Structure 1
Amino acid sequence: MTSWTEHAIFWHVYPLGFLGAEPVLEPGRETTHRLRSLVDWLDHAVELGTSGLLLGPIFAARSHGYDTVDHFTIDPRLGDRADFDLLIDEAHARGLRIVLDGVFNHVGRDHPAFRRAVDAGPGAPEGDLFHLTWKQPGEPPGYRTFEGHEGLVALNHDDDRVVALVTDVMRHWLAAGADGWRLDAAYAVPAQFWARVLPTVRADFPEAYVVGELIHGDYAGFVTASGVDAVTQYELWKAIWSSLNDRNLYELDHALGRHGAMLDTFVPQTFVGNHDVTRLATRLTDPRHVSHALVVLFTVAGTPSVYYGDEVGLTGLKEERLGGDDAIRPAFPDTPADLPPAGLPVLDVHRELIALRRRHPWLHLARTRTLELANELLAYESTGTSGSASTGAAGRLVVVLNLADGAAEVTAQVTQVVAGSAEVHDGRVRVPGHGWVVLE
């Protein structure tokens, strides 16, 4: 685990959508310098309290960015290498790290290596980069895809040249100033592949943060076998919104127990929204509980991220159809001043809780313990150590979530409210209906 990630909080941006890029890259289209417009939003990320940008795909692709055709070239719909260099320089000048999205399970069907392999026919050297099945003479081959999408051609991760390609791409952009990688669809790639790639990458870039996209399965086992720093914590994401909707905080309590066990191996990358899921404000059936989800995100262990637009309460439904991601990947206005004013209360809650987390950096590795639990009530304490384990001071916060219509009371040894609202008297904490509080 890299040292800087102990303090990392990411603002997650899907650039092609955020910057209003065309849905499809037409051949021969001139470069559009949209990427430099993201510089105008860096101060927004700083004022939000985040310390890094988790960027969606920015490399040349045919459509949504996950159908890469050139890993070494910035997508012309976003700009060119000079625009990337400017973004890196401006972000680093503000103390913001940049983590890139690496699409290494598959490539787009227009990738030159795939086209050459198909055109050359059986026995072509580049054919081994993929899983091709040749049928009748003169017919194009069948090929392994990513989850049935014909436009996404799966790479052959047993081939040494694929290992070399991914290693070279990761090293190239780290040398250009990137600070880490999100490995898209890491769950679809053998863990042993990453174990071959990452030691070479880390030899020159030991501080690079590498997080794999995992949805289901043995998170800790994958981290151990692959060598990544972390994986995406979808289990906690699901438990947060589901328990709030069902008013069944036993589900969240169970998930927090499993979450804590992961800390013996790694620190998960945590979130309540990203580019692949229905937005939090749409997912939750009671808008009063948006803040409750954020409280959990920022008071338990992990490396948290905020998906752009969630900080101002944007809505968006993901649908399983062509273009079904468009609603959750919208274009943003030209400047932060143009954000909808109706979202300011949600923005204030984000800023309050992110500031709280930055004042208590030990939360990155915090252990949680349940104090009181009912269907509509959860009180837990998060504890950790500030500084080194041997010399640092102990930290402790108490969190109370109330989903009921009426006020709730819990017993807790606390002295002051540090976020949210509650009455504290003689070791009793009274939280209003649908309220929450963080105390120490």
Structure 2
Amino acid sequence: MSGSAIRGQRPGWWQDAVIYQVYPRSFADGDGDGVGDLAGLLERLPYIASLGVDGIWMTPFQPSPQVDQGYDVSDYCGVDPLFGTMEQFDELLESAHALGLRILLDVVPNHCSSEHPLFRAAVAAGPGSPERAMFHFETGNDAGAPPNNWQSVFGGRAWSRVNPGSDTDREWYLHLFSPEQPDWNWRNPAVGDYFEAVLRFWFDKGVDGLRIDVAHALFKADGLPDAAGTDAVVDGLRSNPQVSDQEDVHEVYRRWRRLAETYSPERILVGEVNLAPDRAARYTRQDEMHQAFAYAFVKLGWDAAAWAAVGTELEAARRAHGAPPTWALENHDVPRSVTRFGGGERGIRRARAGLLAILGLPGGAYIYQGQELNLPDVDVPLHARADPMWARGGVSRDGARVPLPWTTAPGNAYGFSAGTAAPWLPTPPAWGSRSVEAHRKDPESTLHLVTDALRLRGQLLEKEIFAPGDACEWRVGDHGLLLCARGEQFLLAVAMGDASVPLPEGTVLLSSAPLTPEGLLPPDGAAWILVDRP
């Protein structure tokens, strides 16, 4: 068995696990139609295992009209034919486990597709019916306006008329995202029962855990009151406390945690909780979710003081609630770190350093597909953009979702596809220079840096120099040198200023860039340092 498999079987494996996020549409296309699928992922599983990660998080592949690339789910317990079959998923799960890889799936409990059978039944049943009580149906005011002033995350109002031309059905339904994504009414106990059955379905199959989409927004404020203030109206979920972090939501995750603990090995729950560290950490109390992404970190630029401040907040939250942070710099919803950190060669150096940094911090870490290849955001042509946020709100996430390049040669979208169909998002010229093949040939590539870091991380855990519950003391030294002392023997250093900087005394175990002849860490570099015991 691989070291990853052995580590993955011990209790609490998730506390220091490194998970690779797969966006199936853009990972590998096995049937040649231009869209990534389960067959492509199955073929490329050995690549993921070769990185040394502990598991995979897959974004939605369940049946969906694909208005929001799968986050508008019409059947929570199936496989969309676009991606393959349930038999292929079963084979994928078995093969991943044989390679020592855990499988985490997305569950989307805040909203579903307007094509979901229960929503269609609600529309047909009419006002006042138990079917409509599964969702938020409300009568508008006498002037024909919606029930309140809430705005959609995707732009525009968060309400749509269910039957715009009807004189007898004056109800509106709530959708914090697109009109094709109606929100479930979690104040109805039947919704909780429905989702428990969904969790049981996937847990019974052997799925190792679930990432919970928009985990903090399931419950809306009693009475659905207007949002106060201009920002709340403009920014939707991001600024509207009436639809976020309601206290009732914690009982959902207590119920789910009890269910997860009935399985052996225990299944895990990972929350997309886009809140300040002190609020997000409350979702990972001992009887709730196992992990929540450190979203304050995902939003950071390249600034030592900001990293230290957020890191200190996250450490305080860990001390208060017990769960170590779950680190990430990228995912399918945010600009890639190469671009966010300045673009070009400097952006690449910073992204390499940032990736090495999060792999050295205590707790779990997530790598987004292509992050190990230094992929930047792509300026997808306007006519090819598929993100509903672009159409409704003028913001596109497509740039972080362009299909992966596997080969240096341009054929088959740089090896992404088994056929000749155009990829669902166009790949830019010279994309092959960033491919897996190109990185494998370059011993100094980020792909090799990641595999070296994960191998070393495993060794440090085995030697108990690393422990998931380590304290992390952040500080900023001269010339923008960010330092994080982890436990008693390890120091993370990141040069975030414009000058090369001397490192604290100790043995440099690994660095994202070669040290200068004088032994200095160059600008935009990171290093792992082993220090003597005090």
| TM score, norm. by length of structure 2 | 0.71
Is 1:299 equivalent to 2:302 in the alignment? no
Amino acid at match of 2:509: V
SS of residue paired to 2:473: strand
CA distance in 2 between counterparts of 1:93 and 1:335 reads: 26
Match in the other structure for 2:274: 215
Amino acid at match of 2:458: R
Call closer, same or farther: CA 1:113–1:45 in 2, change over 3 Å. Answer: same
Unaligned runs of 5+ in 2: 1-9, 141-165, 219-248, 380-386, 409-413, 417-431, 440-444
TM-aligned CA deviation for residue 341 of structure 1? 4.2
CA distance in 2 between counterparts of 1:289 and 1:42 reads: 28
CA distance in 1 between counterparts of 2:517 and 2:474 reads: 19
Contact 2:64 2:80 in 1 (8 A): yes
Which protein has the bigger strand share? 1
Per-residue deviation, residues 275-309 of structure 1 (Å, max 9, x unmatched): 11011111111322122211221111221111011
Amino acid at match of 1:172: F
Contact 1:301 1:367 in 2 (8 A): yes
Call closer, same or farther: CA 1:2–1:119 in 2, change over 3 Å. Answer: farther
Is 1:330 equivalent to 2:402 in the alignment? yes
Contact 1:250 1:374 in 2 (8 A): no
CA distance in 2 between counterparts of 1:375 and 1:124 reads: 65
Is 1:91 equivalent to 2:129 in the alignment? no
Match in the other structure for 2:285: 224
Match in the other structure for 1:11: 20
Match in the other structure for 1:436: 526
How many residues align? The count is 410
Contact 2:18 2:365 in 1 (8 A): yes
Per-residue deviation, residues 109-138 of structure 1 (Å, max 9, x unmatched): 111111111112123222111111256644
TM-aligned CA deviation for residue 34 of structure 1? 3.1
SS of residue paired to 1:263: helix
Out of 237, 240, 243, the position equivalent to 2:298 is: 237
Is 1:144 equivalent to 2:174 in the alignment? yes
Amino acid at match of 2:24: P
Match in the other structure for 1:40: 43
SS of residue paired to 1:350: helix
Out of 214, 217, 224, the position equivalent to 1:188 is: 217
Unaligned runs of 5+ in 1: 23-29, 384-394
Out of 306, 309, 316, the position equivalent to 1:251 is: 306
Match in the other structure for 2:496: 403
CA distance in 2 between counterparts of 1:35 and 1:416 reads: 41
SS of residue paired to 1:100: strand
Per-residue deviation, residues 43-97 of structure 1 (Å, max 9, x unmatched): 1111112110011012111111110101111111111110110100110000000
Per-residue deviation, residues 116-168 of structure 1 (Å, max 9, x unmatched): 11112123222111111256644363111124x21111001111211111111
Call closer, same or farther: CA 1:57–1:21 in 2, change over 3 Å. Answer: farther
CA distance in 1 between counterparts of 2:331 and 2:280 reads: 19
CA distance in 1 between counterparts of 2:134 and 2:16 reads: 39
Call closer, same or farther: CA 1:92–1:172 in 2, change over 3 Å. Answer: same
Contact 1:11 1:307 in 2 (8 A): yes
Amino acid at match of 2:84: G
CA distance in 2 between counterparts of 1:222 and 1:210 reads: 10
Out of 262, 269, 273, the position equivalent to 2:317 is: 262
Contact 1:163 1:196 in 2 (8 A): no
Call closer, same or farther: CA 1:346–1:211 in 2, change over 3 Å. Answer: same
Call closer, same or farther: CA 1:406–1:221 in 2, change over 3 Å. Answer: closer
Call closer, same or farther: CA 1:110–1:260 in 2, change over 3 Å. Answer: same
Amino acid at match of 1:45: I
| TM score, norm. by length of structure 1 | 0.85
Per-residue deviation, residues 359-414 of structure 1 (Å, max 9, x unmatched): 2222533322246524521233212xxxxxxxxxxx622222223443212433x2
CA distance in 1 between counterparts of 2:252 and 2:15 reads: 27
Is 1:347 equivalent to 2:447 in the alignment? yes
Matches within 5 A, 1:49-198: 49-63=52-66, 64-134=69-139, 137-139=167-169, 141-147=171-177, 149-189=178-218, 190-198=249-257
TM-aligned CA deviation for residue 333 of structure 1? 5.1
Call closer, same or farther: CA 1:141–1:197 in 2, change over 3 Å. Answer: farther
CA distance in 2 between counterparts of 1:405 and 1:367 reads: 29
CA distance in 2 between counterparts of 1:72 and 1:375 reads: 53
Is 1:271 equivalent to 2:340 in the alignment? no
CA distance in 2 between counterparts of 1:70 and 1:233 reads: 29
Call closer, same or farther: CA 1:434–1:155 in 2, change over 3 Å. Answer: closer
CA distance in 1 between counterparts of 2:415 and 2:42 reads: 16
- Which stretch of structure 1 is more off in the superposition, 120-129 or 59-68? 120-129
Q: CA RMSD in A?
A: 2.9
